[in-house]
Structure 1
Amino acid sequence: MKPRELFTLAAGAYLAMAWLGKALYFGPIEIGPAIYAVVFLILIFVGEKLGGNLRGEVFLPAFLLLIPLGPEYVLGGLISFGVVFFALRRNLLGRAVLPATALAVAITLLACLKWGIPLLKPELRYTIASVPFLVAGDIIMGAVAVYPDFRLLVVGEIIGIIGASRTVGLGVAAAYLLRLAYEDKLTLEEAKRHKKTVLVAVALLLAVFLARHYVTLKEYPVWKLGFLGSLLHRPASSYTVYERLFQLGMPFGKAELLFNPGPTGYVGKLFGKDIGYTYTLFGQPAYDFGIFGLAEAVVLGLALGRASKNPFTGTFAFTVAILALDIGIEGQFLVAISLMAYLAGVKRNEQESYN
């Protein structure tokens, strides 16, 4: 299985789960948003096929999207870009895996010591205490994108369990599978050859989702859905939010989400809530640009196609895109994928590497 095929499978599975859950828990599926979502995915695949032919410099203007988000996003983006550019240029990514993993573990341990364990204290998930676990998970995703070592997967899933974070668990698993796909190891034959590894990996990912379900039951004692029902409820809930954003954004959009530093919170307030609402991959384009939001699918596809030319940048970009299927596109997500498209073409400087 190739990386683009894995993304296609993930997108199809997500949309099917969202539609099924929507029909079961929220009512009939609306035709307009459903057609928009399918067309959006088709245009991503069209753009992905064409993106490999573009020059990387085409994607550098994506930095401008960080300006409306605030100076901290601009500075963070520049630093992150500079670090990855230097590492690619000097062929240092491989050497960074071990210290990066140690940093992720240290961040997790320090967060547990300072605030506690979110799995045991569910209220932490809605405070700043949840951020270190997400950061640690992001670091492991990056490490896996460089080197798909099964031990890194285990570390990442354990962080996901401790933080009761489906985002971390799914992101690390997606990065691992995508990186294996780049090495032509995501095959049925390889799965049969490493049955125990596959079983452990599935068990760990399942444990992450069970941990999140446990936290949900602790947070909401009146929650009636079982584990499987909860799995369908999350994408269905996000999809229902998307349908509402579709209605609000058509035909020409409101231009509020992509340039908002807190888009999920903004959407929550649209619904009269003080919590963040996820809105699927299609919600932001539909709300911000209406029918013209379909052009964003082409841009996203072009960036994914260009990023996929390099195993590291392709893995990272497709991982972000898979996570965005449910969370929704945020400004920093689109910038990250676009910059990966540029970085895919960075060549190792042989002269510098021997100095």
Structure 2
Amino acid sequence: MIARMRPFATQWTTLVPPLAVILLVFTWGRELPGGIVAVATLVLAGAVLAAVHHAEVVAHRVGEPFGSLVLAVAVTVIEVALIVTLMMDGGDKSATLARDTVFAAVMITCNGILGLSLLVGSLRHGTAVFNSEGSGSALATVATLATLSLVLPTFTTSKPGPEFSSVQLTFAAVISLVLYGLFVATQTVRHRDYFLPVPRQEKGDTSAGPVEEHAEAPSARTALISLGLLGLALIGVVGLAKGVSPAIESAVDTAGLPHAIVGVIIALLVLLPETIAAVRAARRDQVQISMNLALGSAMASIGLTIPAVALASLWLTGPLILGLSSTHMVLLLLTVLVSALTVVPGRATPLQGGVHLVLLAAYLELAINP
């Protein structure tokens, strides 16, 4: 999982997280000129890649499925912090930011990350094999959370428009936390074996791909250092993303694009670490880890973001619109149906990966041209 490295203290992945935090200290709360925005964007990209590296170090130390959970929760913390901070500064335009970002995260994870992982894994190893029990339970939880949090607000009548009332929003927040907590307990305690990589022999698949060498697990000291650097990298990503967000919003407005594109960009940014880690796992013929990352991130995105914005709505002014449009509900329904058909057999070919990627492309095209 982790390549042989140079001395720990001289790696760029060690230097970038503190650099990101230092840059954040000097830029926080200021209007940034174009040159500083460019520098902040480069450091932001480096912090994202560093976060992936350190999350993988920690994951390699603690093993699966805890490793996938570490990265999924870490990335979701970024997303939640970005959404709440942008909602605090965004005025009326922020009313749909949480919905747009969460739905974008669901589409990117369930179609983009999952589809790309299946495509890479199946092209490299003949077929992509995974555990249908674990992936199926994760998909069922994602579908339930998405429907209760993003579809029902469109049809409730307690408040005008696609909004929850205070009681309904509280209920949605509580059940989101309950379902997410129940899934984590299932994944890490009672049925941990459902979420471990599947040997091909168990699926009757003899098409063995190239054998990958695995480095020895890092020491506890190295893992703790990586955990600290992961925290610094995430702080840098959140803060710098907030700093460059005005430039993103300005560019979106200048281009005449729908404001929902801001949510898509945020989701693409924060899910970059998940995407890289999932593709790496698929290349090693560990597609179950990729499934854990994709579906776990979708679940964490809903299960942690909805409670966070529900809490933030106590002091934020303006409406909190969570209900999806009819177009997005169709895309969500199609995603759930296709994902179910992908998960049930426990193996996939490049066709399934391509179908998911086409669904992501359709979502992105409709986001630009509603």
**TMscore range, shorter length:** under 0.3
Using CA pairs below 8 Å that are at least 6 residues apart, which structure has the higher relative contact order? 2
